[in-house]
């Protein structure tokens, strides 16, 4: 495919509204559907990709998520802002699996640049923003997306504004500051932060990169699905357990599986997709249980796993659709279970983030219910490293002893 005189490796053709099907140009800055407010999805000429690239030809490519270049939206290589992200390890957790009686896999995005899977969305969104000559980007974040946006914006030379809850993990706040972003701490939750971005973006000339309000973060996140397929030898696990906040990862993986089937790289088999949330913030779980089509705001949201503290995800409808289409489910777990599972992952040499630990807690619930069967292959998606949560985890995990103590509390 040629754009002017420059060879392009992207086969993007247009953007399409996920709700009403309206089409939009990918060569201009776009946010959500101007007709109905639905999320816009990038569409590609997959027939052309199919004739040019076989899955075997991926083998010699660099081990980053940009190996799926043809199905990513950036037209010109020089616009790609990359820190070598993606193609993170996927491997069996043998001991833990044996204990639970399932064939257990982990996909570990704790090893991503900026310490979380959010780098996938931001390398794509910032690259595309750069390609479309955007100068100033802003977003509301629980922490990790802000850190990733600030980092990629710094490398791209864009000005970045981040709004995050005041009690977000210190590492994320400092990361944004060190990366030169304008960081504002909001006395509220991520939806309040998103409200600020929405109200002020025109006045300050920001392009809003908040979850699923621009079309390209989800494109980066879908590489999780491509990698799971490729690293699994083009065979997908029976169940994928994913810590769900805004839902980009879940929606992105599902999009990937659809594209992979169109490319003929996988068949029609699909994993059952599981959304794990915390009992203190479980809007998707409640909506799924009720059989609702939309997600209602969860009151007084709180959890130690800040990335999944999203009281009303913008893409609620799409998350529910993925869960239903895949034959999946939604499950909530307590913060105590999450903290316990951070320690259980340690037995595999992993210091996972609380959101990642929630997947193990969720799986245990599903095994107890018999929803997951012992013979099945289950993939737990670890979305980040525990090292970004030292202040959040340290407080509840480490017992304090009085200076005059003559007995010790149990560990
Ligand atoms: C570590 C971590 N896990 C999971 C999530 C939830 O991601 P998603 O928006 O894909 O549901 C977040 C979002 O901030 C996060 O930071
Ligand atoms: Zn629409």
pLDDT at 402: 86
User: Cβ contacts of residue 203 below 8 Å, gap of 6+?
Assistant: none
pLDDT at 6: 42
| Centroid of ligand 2 to alpha carbon of 383 (angstroms) | 30
| Centroid of ligand 1 to alpha carbon of 5 (angstroms) | 39
Confidence of residue 411 (pLDDT cuts 50, 70, 90): low
Q: Identify the burial level of 339 via C-beta atoms within 10 angstroms of its C-beta, where 0-12 means exposed, 13-18 middle and 19 or more buried.
A: middle
The three-point CA angle 229-150-81 to 5° equals 55
| Centroid of ligand 2 to alpha carbon of 215 (angstroms) | 13
385 lines ligand 1 (CB under 6 A): no
| Centroid of ligand 2 to alpha carbon of 149 (angstroms) | 27
pLDDT digits (tens, 9 = 90+) for 119-161: 999 999 999 999 999 999 999 999 999 999 999 999 999 999 9
Q: Please state, for a pLDDT cut of 70, what percent of the chain lies above it.
A: 98
243 lines ligand 1 (CB under 6 A): yes
- The reported pTM is 0.95
Check pLDDT > 60 for residue 95.
Answer: yes
| CA-nearest residue, atom 12 of ligand 1 | 307
| Centroid of ligand 2 to alpha carbon of 250 (angstroms) | 21
193 HSE (CA, 13 A, CB side): 31
User: What is the pLDDT averaged over residues 36-58?
Assistant: 94
Mean pLDDT rounded to a whole number for the chain? 94
Which one of the ligands is nearest to 211 CA?
1
pLDDT at 3: 39
pLDDT digits (tens, 9 = 90+) for 165-206: 999 999 999 999 999 999 999 999 999 999 999 999 999 999
User: What is the pLDDT averaged over residues 368-390?
Assistant: 96
Check pLDDT > 80 for residue 287.
Answer: yes
Confidence of residue 398 (pLDDT cuts 50, 70, 90): confident
Token pair belonging to 358: 């929630």
Of the residues 107, 116, 189, which should be mutated to test ligand 1's pocket, given the most ligand atoms within 8 Å of the CB?
A: 116
User: What is the pLDDT averaged over residues 278-306?
Assistant: 96
pLDDT at 117: 98
| CA-nearest residue, atom 9 of ligand 1 | 246
Of the residues 308, 333, 351, 356, which should be mutated to test ligand 1's pocket, given the most ligand atoms within 8 Å of the CB?
A: 308
Check pLDDT > 90 for residue 397.
Answer: no
| CA-nearest residue, atom 2 of ligand 1 | 307
Task: With residue 16 as reference, give the H or E element that holds it.
Answer: strand 12-17
Check pLDDT > 90 for residue 395.
Answer: no
pLDDT at 249: 95
Q: What is the layout of strands, in order, in the sheet containing 12-17?
A: 23-24, 12-17, 40-44
């Amino acid at each position: 495919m040629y754009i002017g005189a420059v060879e392009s490796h992207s086969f993007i053709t247009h953007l399409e509204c996920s709700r009403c099907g309206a089409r939009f140009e990918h060569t201009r800055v776009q946010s959500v559907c101007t007709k109905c407010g639905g999320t816009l999805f990038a569409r590609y000429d997959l027939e052309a990709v199919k004739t040019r690239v076989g899955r075997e030809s991926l083998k010699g490519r660099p081990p980053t998520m940009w190996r799926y270049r043809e199905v990513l939206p950036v037209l010109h290589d020089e616009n790609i802002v990359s820190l070598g992200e993606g193609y993170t390890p996927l491997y069996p957790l043998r001991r833990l699996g044996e204990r639970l009686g399932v064939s257990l896999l982990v996909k570990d995005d704790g090893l991503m640049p900026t310490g979380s899977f959010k780098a996938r969305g931001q390398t794509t969104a910032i690259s595309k923003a750069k390609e479309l000559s955007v100068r100033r980007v802003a977003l509301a974040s629980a922490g990790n997306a802000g850190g990733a946006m600030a980092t990629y914006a710094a490398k791209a030379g864009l000005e970045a504004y981040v709004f995050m809850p005041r009690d977000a993990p210190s590492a994320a706040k400092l990361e944004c500051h060190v990366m030169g972003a304008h960081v504002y701490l909001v006395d509220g939750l991520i939806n309040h932060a998103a409200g600020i971005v929405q109200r002020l973006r025109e006045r300050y000339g920001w392009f809003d990169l908040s979850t699923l309000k621009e079309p390209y973060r989800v494109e980066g996140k879908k590489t999780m699905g491509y990698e799971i397929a490729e690293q699994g030898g083009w065979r997908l696990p029976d169940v994928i357990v994913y810590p769900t906040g805004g839902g980009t990862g879940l929606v992105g993986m599902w999009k990937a599986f659809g594209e992979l089937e169109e490319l003929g790289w996988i068949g029609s088999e699909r994993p059952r997709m599981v959304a794990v949330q915390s009992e203190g913030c479980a809007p998707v779980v409640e909506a799924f249980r009720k059989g609702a089509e939309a997600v209602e705001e969860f009151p007084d949201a709180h959890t130690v796993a800040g990335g999944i503290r999203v009281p009303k995800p913008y893409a609620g409808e799409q998350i529910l659709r993925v869960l239903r289409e895949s034959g999946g489910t939604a499950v909530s777990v307590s913060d105590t279970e999450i903290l316990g599972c951070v320690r259980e992952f340690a037995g595999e040499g992993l210091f996972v983030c609380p959101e990642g630990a929630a997947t193990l807690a969720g799986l245990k619930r599903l095994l107890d219910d018999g929803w997951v069967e012992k013979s099945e292959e289950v993939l737990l998606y670890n979305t980040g490293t525990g090292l970004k949560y030292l202040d959040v985890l340290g407080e509840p995990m480490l017992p304090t002893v009085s200076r005059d103590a003559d007995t010790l509390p149990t560990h």
